[in-house]
Structures are given as C-alpha cells and as structure tokens.
Chain A
Amino acid sequence: MTVSLFRQTRHPGRIGWTDILSYAYLALGVVLMFGPVLWLVLSSLKTPAALLEFPPSLLPLTQKTVTVPGHAQPLELYRVRMPDGTVRELAQVRRIGIQAQMLDPADPATIIRVPIEAREPIREMAFAWSNYTEPLQQFAFGRYFSNSLIVTIVATIITLIINSMAAYALAIYEFRGKALMLLLVIGTLMIPITIVLVPVFLVITQMGLNNSLWAVILPGAATPTGVFLLRQYMLTLPRDLIEAARMDKASEWQIYARIVLPLTLPALAVLAIFSIMWRWNEFLWPLAVLTKSEVYTLQIGLNAFQGELQTQWHYLLAMTVMTLAPVALVFVFLQRFITTGIANTGMK
C-alpha cells in the first residue's frame, strides 16, 4: 500500500481509485460552487413570464411569436402534429377549452382546430436585458451603486494612509509605550462592530454624521489587520536605507512617504484588496446607521429591494448580478494576489 492517498498520485502515469475519487469530489465541488451563481446569471436574463415557469428551463427561453395581418397582438407559435401524422408550425389565435384555434402564418385566412395536447410551443433564446436597464431607471439603483463606490474608494484610501502611518511608527521606531500601543492594536481585534453597534451609533449621531456616507466610511477606517500586515512587511525592509536617508537630511515624513511607502507597495496592494472587499460587502453597520434611502449602499439597497420586490424576481436577480459583477472582475484579475495574501496572513 502507499501513503500517497494524502499526498500525490500513486504511480506517475497511472490513475488509481483515489485519483478518481479526488476528481469526482472536485467535479462535484465545481457544480456546487459555480452552479448557483451560473443559475443566478441565467435566471436574471429570463423574462418575468419565463421565471414563473415550473419546472424552470435551464436557458432563458421564451415562446416564439409571429405577427399576422388581421391580428393586433403577436400570436404564439406552436409545432403541431396533424391527424395525418405531418408536423406543421402554426400560430394560435385562441384557446377554447381543450381545443385550440390555430392558423398557418402563410395562410392566415383558414382557421385550423387542433386538440391542445397535439401542439407544443416553439421556443427560442431571448435575453431580457430590460431586467438590467429598467432598475437603473425605475429605482435608485444607480445611486446605491455610486454610494457604494464612494464608500469603498474613500474608505480604502483613508485606511491605506492611516494604517501605513501607524505601521511605520510601530516598525521603524523604538520608543516608550510601543509595546502598549501594539497591545492596543491587538485589543481592537477583539472588539468587532457587532459588540459596539449601539455606542458607535451614538458617537456618529453625536458627530452629526447620521445618514451621511461618512457614517459608513469612518468607523472601520482604522483596521488592526492592516496595521499588522503592513508592519510585518516593513520590518523586512533594510534599515540602512532609512539610516542613509537620515544622513541625507531627509525628514521623517519624507522617509515614510518617499522611501518606505513605495517599497511597501506589495503589502499595500493586499490590504487594498481586503479593504475593497470589506467595504463593498459591508452589511450590519450600514444597515444600522443608514435609514434614508438616498444614502443606501448597494448591499442595503439590495436588501431593501428583496423586502419590497418579492414578486419581481426578474429585477432582483439582475440587481444581484450587477452587485456581484465588480467583485467577480476583481477576483478574475487578482485571484493569485488574494489567495496568496490570505494564505500568508490568515486573515480576511
């Protein structure tokens, strides 16, 4: 027997049962992880009528219609098995009980009566792009989107600056109280927003920031995760560089802004990705502090829609896709960055 069950293929070039099992597990994983998102995207392109179908069709299909002179409405096309065994494409004029009155679009004058079980709808792919365009016009979806964008960008910039400054202080200097400051930063890790929801709300209200985007941006701007991540990276920078700059009469601020920060770029990039992810997806705190719909972020807006639009899944699904699209793009381009960043820091 062999060890490789938990390590590698038994014999290079041959495939053992454990490999088959592994690939089966991974294939199931692909279906289970990708399937739901794919189903969301496909569903979001269906017309409201197609969404009501049960059992649902996989692809966004709608019944083909044809405009026939003499009929105001477009008529639905069916494939009909005629009594003589031939199959014809006919348009339905109306249905009376178990009989359908149909006509051949080429010969609209003759009405043909067929039993309804002899006909079968002709369907074609049709993408309901209006699911995407209409929410942008009818609801404040665009507003929520831009609110989220502002929050994400401004908050990430603030986080990068103040976290890198603190990290610089804790990485480069030796001073009294440094250990205490480090402990303080660790301490904040233990106090998530779930614990201080009400008092932070009080502080924000006292500052007069209720129902402004600043209320969402400020409380999470200083992150212990970011300080540690950047400090760890700055500790690896050569000290000679800083000493040399001091010799050249560079001020401490210049050393930070011109020398250390540019060298910390890889770690800053990881923190930027984390921060974008946190801010774009943030839910509980904005839910508590934002009560006016003009300042809703995308997540809060989407949650409000799902309460109001229970019957309008076609809009809701399209808006969900639009909400996840930016994240999906970020992931496609920065996947390696993100996964190695998390594997190295153990944080998200």
Chain B
Amino acid sequence: MADASPPTRMMPRDALAARLWQAASGLLDRPMALVQRLVGGNRMAWIFLAPNIFFFGLFVFLPIGINIALSVTGGTNLFLGDRPHVGAAHYEALLDCRSYLEPGSCREDHFWKGVANTLKFTLFQMVAMVGTALVTALVLNRKIRGRGFFRAVYFFPVLLSPVVVALIWKWILQRDGLLNAAITTAGGQKILFFVDPGWAMFWAVFVSVWAHMGFYTLILLAGLQAIPADLYEAAEMDGTPPMRVLTRITLPLLWPNLLVVLVLVLIRAVQTFDEVFVLTGGGPGTATVMIVQYIYETAFANQVQNFGRAAAASMLLGGLLFALTMLQLWFARRKAA
C-alpha cells in the first residue's frame, strides 16, 4: 500500500461502486477545479471540510444553543418565537426536592426516579460489565484452541439491535418462558420477573451486560496482548505464583485500558435507554425508568409535550456527561503519557 501503485489496483476496475464513484466524482471535476482557481490550492481544505462542518453545525452545535433557549422558555409550542420566557423555572422544578434521597419528595418525582434508577443501574452494570469483560478477556488471552470462535461468540450480540436483544430476552423471561420452565422443572414456582421491581432491574442490567460485554472484552483483550511476553517469562523463571502475576504484572499494566473501559461503560450507562425501554417499558410502575426515558416521554410521548422541561433535563444530563467525558480524556492522556 505504501508504494505508488495505481489506484485501480485497490479498487477493481469492474466494481460497480468504484465505477459509480468515478462517474459521480468526475462530474465534480470541472466545478471543483474552478473553485480551486478561485480560492487557491490550500484553502480547498475549507471546501472539503464544509459539508461535514455544516452537518455538525446544523445537528450538533446549533441544537445546543436551541436547547438552552428551550430550557428557559415554557408552553407547548415547539418554535422558540411562540414560547414565553420562564427563566430558570424548569430547572427549579426539576431540582425542587425536599430530600434528594427520596424521589417521591420531589416536585418532578418522575425525573428523580429516573436519576435514582440510572444511578442504581449504572453502579450494578459497571461492576458486572467490567468484571465479566475482564474475566473473559483474561480467559481468551490464554493459549486456547478456537480463540477466534470464542471471541466471536462473546462479541456477536454487540451487533444486534437493542429491540432485538430486548425481545429475545423478553421471550425467555415471560411468564411461560424458557426460564420459568426450567424453574418449575427444578421444582420451583414461576416468577413474574417484570412484575417484581428488583427482578426487573436485575434483568435490565443482565441483558445490557449480555449485549455489550463483547465490545469491552475486545478492548481489554487488545490491551492484554500488548503486555510484553518477556515479563511473563521472567516471572515464570522466578517461580512467581499466578495470583501474584495477576496483581503485580497483568492488572497494573492493563490498568490504563481498564480505566478507559470503566469510563466508557459509565458514559454509556448514564445514557441507557433502548434495551431497558423495550424490555421493561420502565416498569413495573417506574422501577426501571431511566433519565433518557424521562426526557423522551416528557418531550414526545406524554399527552402534553413539555419541550422546555425535557430540554432542561437534557442540559443536566449533558453537564454530567461533559464531566464524565473530561474524566475520560484525562485518563486517556495519562494512558498516552
């Protein structure tokens, strides 16, 4: 690839996509040459950047401004011109609690239930996700037959859509499902998993770990494989016990990767919505409602669409994510250093 082989060798001449691209980009040859003559060769960078930056501007940066504006205005109109200014009313309503430890004591109890559930979910999920991913990566890093196959086995659910994942497990966990069949065959009583708040949260965590652990396993495995083999050989020659090798060599050297995974899991967990929403619908009651579900429902699914309240809640979530991302960047920098 480093030699100046003609591009046609990388892109087979007969490939349809390549031909289409040649025809389509050929159409732009003349206009772009004209533009280049106008702006000069080096400023073409801006021309190349323009479409992407335009999309970022329209769908990321502009929306942040709109979000702030929405969060300080009221009413049910979507467009800013038709919305009365209400100041910090939405934030005050969201933060109005007699005790932050009791979601029930808050004016916007649904939001706080979401916060409490998300925190609980995040905590359990982080421990379970990082734990299983680490153990799996350690096992896969040994010299085992069929490593590629096993890696694929753990990884494939990552590609499944959240709706598919949730439906697969809903079918297994339903009242007359496979798991209850196993329980009754073993002499137990059927359990209504989605009627019991504790079980619903347990399965929400379990299913999300099932779906995503393969991804983190891959990252940790890449980290493990980067640890120099001679360290292990030296330890073996010294007769170091395996537990000591784990705590003195493997984990310390894997630590930077582990931190990155930890924060990545955290950032994703805080935004949990899809799988849990399809699996439990937030129920029973509000036992598994997450912050994002609160935002979605407040803005789109409730009878009265309260865009301002939803925007204010997403600003709060955004602040949390910003802090977590800074944490991630800090860890990443330390890893690089």
Binding site for B on A (CB under 8 A): 1-9, 18-19, 22-23, 25-26, 29-30, 32-34, 36-37, 39-40, 43, 52, 54-56, 161-163, 165-166, 168-170, 172-175, 178, 181, 184-185, 188-192, 194-203, 205-206, 218-222, 227, 238, 240-241, 244, 246, 251-254, 256-259, 261-263, 265, 277, 280-281, 283-284, 287-288, 299, 302-303, 306, 313, 316-317, 320, 323-324, 327-328, 330-331, 335-336, 338-339, 342-344, 346, 348
Docked Cα-Cα span, A76 to B63, in Å, equals: 64
- Establish whether residues A165 and B141, one from each chain, have CB atoms under 8 Å apart when the complex forms: no
B192 at the A/B interface (Cβ < 8 Å)?
no
Instruction: List B299-314 residues whose CB lies under 8 Å from chain A.
Output: 299-300, 307, 310-311, 314
Residues of A within 8 A of B278 (CB): 303, 306
- How many A-B Cβ pairs are below 8 Å? 331
Name A222's contact: one of B59, B164, B184 (CB within 8 Å). B59
- Establish whether residues A3 and B49, one from each chain, have CB atoms under 8 Å apart when the complex forms: no
Q: How far is the CB of A104 from the nearest CB of chain B, in Å? A: 34
Name A303's contact: one of B64, B153, B163, B299 (CB within 8 Å). B163
Residues of A within 8 A of B317 (CB): 194-195
Q: Looking at the complex, which of B92-100, B101-109, B196-204, B215-223 is the stretch in contact with chain A?
A: B215-223
B51 at the A/B interface (Cβ < 8 Å)?
yes
- Establish whether residues A25 and B139, one from each chain, have CB atoms under 8 Å apart when the complex forms: yes
In the complex, the chain B residue whose C-beta lies closest to that of A206 is: B79
Residues of B within 8 A of A3 (CB): 232, 235-236, 240, 242, 245
- Establish whether residues B59 and A200, one from each chain, have CB atoms under 8 Å apart when the complex forms: yes
Instruction: List B40-89 residues whose CB lies under 8 Å from chain A.
Output: 41-46, 48-49, 51-53, 55-56, 58-67, 70, 78-80
Docked Cα-Cα span, A221 to B56, in Å, equals: 9
Q: Which of A168, A173, A197, A256 has the most B CB atoms < 10 Å from its CB?
A: A197
Name B66's contact: one of A203, A253, A262, A316 (CB within 8 Å). A203
Docked Cα-Cα span, A324 to B157, in Å, equals: 10
Q: How far is the CB of A303 from the nearest CB of chain B, in Å? A: 5
4 closest A-B pairs by CB: A5-B242, A253-B32, A222-B55, A199-B63
Residues of A within 8 A of B295 (CB): 194, 197-198
Q: How far is the CB of B121 from the nearest CB of chain A, in Å? A: 15
Docked Cα-Cα span, A222 to B48, in Å, equals: 13
Name A33's contact: one of B78, B157, B296, B314 (CB within 8 Å). B157
Docked Cα-Cα span, A288 to B274, in Å, equals: 12
Q: How far is the CB of B15 from the nearest CB of chain A, in Å? A: 10
Binding site for A on B (CB under 8 A): 1-2, 4, 7-8, 10-11, 18, 21-22, 25, 28-29, 32-33, 36, 41-46, 48-49, 51-53, 55-56, 58-67, 70, 78-80, 135-136, 138-139, 141-144, 148, 150-164, 167-172, 176-178, 181, 184-185, 210, 215, 218-219, 221-222, 229, 232, 235-236, 239-243, 245-246, 250, 260, 271, 273-274, 278, 292, 295-296, 299-300, 307, 310-311, 314-315, 317-318, 321-322, 325
Q: How far is the CB of B258 from the nearest CB of chain A, in Å? A: 13
- Establish whether residues B222 and A2, one from each chain, have CB atoms under 8 Å apart when the complex forms: no
Docked Cα-Cα span, A238 to B2, in Å, equals: 6
A324 with B153: in contact, given A165-B51, A206-B79, A306-B278 (CB under 8 Å)? no
Docked Cα-Cα span, A343 to B257, in Å, equals: 12
Residues of B within 8 A of A280 (CB): 161
Q: How far is the CB of B227 from the nearest CB of chain A, in Å? A: 9
Docked Cα-Cα span, A272 to B187, in Å, equals: 50
Q: List 24 A-B contacts (CB under 8 A).
A: A6-B141, A18-B242, A33-B153, A34-B153, A36-B210, A37-B168, A39-B168, A43-B171, A56-B177, A170-B45, A190-B322, A194-B271, A202-B307, A203-B63, A218-B59, A254-B32, A256-B48, A258-B7, A283-B274, A288-B296, A299-B161, A327-B160, A336-B148, A348-B215
- Establish whether residues B210 and A32, one from each chain, have CB atoms under 8 Å apart when the complex forms: yes
- Establish whether residues A241 and B4, one from each chain, have CB atoms under 8 Å apart when the complex forms: yes
Residues of A within 8 A of B49 (CB): 165-166, 169-170, 181
Name B150's contact: one of A30, A52, A163, A195 (CB within 8 Å). A30
